[in-house]
Amino acid sequence: MAEPLANAILPEGWLPAVEAINETGRSDIVLICEHASNHIPAEYARLGLDSSHLQRHIAWDIGAAEVTRVLSRLLDAPAFLSSYSRLLIDLNRPLGSSGSIPVLSEGTDIPGNVGLDPEERSRRAEVMFAPFHDRVAAHLDGRAKQGRPTRIATIHSFTPVFLGIARPWHAGVLYDRAVDFGQAVLAGLRADSALNAAANEPYVISRDGDYAIPVHGDDRGIPAVLIEIRQDLLASRSGIEQWAKRLAAALPAQTQAL
């Protein structure tokens, strides 16, 4: 895809599609946070939503960016974070899928996404989606050329209650082909007997509904997991740091074992 804003002076309110942190980090782990930001450029007029909706999970994964930043520092790991709200285009959904540019999210209509013409869909893909994933892919290509071992962990958060149904898990470890990696990370979290951590909860990985794990991980033969943390556990700075430390303890253990 073309990248019309990638190397140009960005219009006011626009950001580079990806924030890359510590790309030369020594860790085997590469961190990805596709729902790091709730930013929507002013020209989109909040997609017709009240500003309060931009603080909800429909706009971003609350706390995920902060956990990713701390974890990057603790592990000395490269990290790639999104700069735009998932409401504009979801970086963890295949282009053209129903969840890519949602018109309804968690029971909320998204007026600014209704009836988009092909040009606007292409614009969002070219400005926000492609540059992000191209940057991740280039990093992974570079590691492969250097013969560096690589594991991918994508960092997400989930709501304690979804459409009226309470979710009991503190965290989930989602995976498809990377069974050994996923089970090792899960075992690391379960070392704390007080945690309710589950495999493939509260979601499952699918090629129709996910992007990073199938494309950057499974298709390349790189062990890849998606880690979900319940959002109420990330409501404070202490909670964010606690979870980053938990993940830092769980992730290196599997790296040495594989």
* 12 in any annotated domain: no
Q: What is the pLDDT of residue 9?
A: 63
Q: What is the pLDDT of residue 12?
A: 75
Residue-number span of the structural domain to which 188 is assigned: 18-257
Residue (of 4, 43, 1, 39) closest to 19 by Cα position? 39
- Asked whether 144 and 118 are in contact (CB, 8 A), the reply is no
**How crowded is residue 246: how many other Cβ atoms within 10 Å of its Cβ?**
21
Residue 181 located in a structural domain: yes
Q: Is residue 5 in some structural domain?
A: no
Residue 101 lies in a domain: yes
In this structure, is residue 233 part of a structural domain?
yes
Which is it for strands 79-82 and 18-21: parallel, antiparallel or unpaired?
antiparallel
Integer CA distances (angstroms), 222 to 14, 161, 212, in order: 32, 32, 11
**Structural domain count, the chain:** 1
Is 89 domain-assigned?
Answer: yes
Task: Look at residue 10 and tell me if it is in a domain.
Answer: no
* Domain CATH for 158: 3.40.630.40
Per-residue tens of pLDDT for the chain, all 258 residues: 334 444 456 777 799 999 999 999 999 999 999 999 999 999 999 999 999 999 999 999 999 999 999 999 999 999 999 999 999 999 999 999 999 999 999 999 999 999 999 999 999 999 999 999 999 999 999 999 999 999 999 999 999 999 889 999 999 999 999 999 999 999 999 999 999 999 999 999 999 999 999 999 999 999 999 999 999 999 999 999 999 999 999 997 554 444
- Closest to 58 in 3D by CA, of 129, 180, 158: 158
To the nearest 10°, report the CA torsion of 125, 127, 129, 133. 130
Q: Please indicate, yes or no, if residue 74 is contained in any of the structural domains.
A: yes
Query: How many other β-carbons are positioned within 10 Å of the β-carbon of residue 78?
Result: 23
Dihedral over Cα of 22, 144, 28, 229: its sign? positive
Separation of alpha carbons 68 and 74, rounded Å: 10
Note the pLDDT of residue 66: 98
**Spatial CA neighbour of 208 closest among 93, 105, 91:** 93
∠ CA 224-170-32 to the nearest 5 degrees? 30
**pLDDT (0 to 100) of residue 255:** 47
Looking at residue 60, what is its pLDDT?
A: 98
Query: What is the model's pLDDT at position 8?
Result: 53
What phi and psi values does residue 30 have, to the nearest 5 degrees? -115, 125
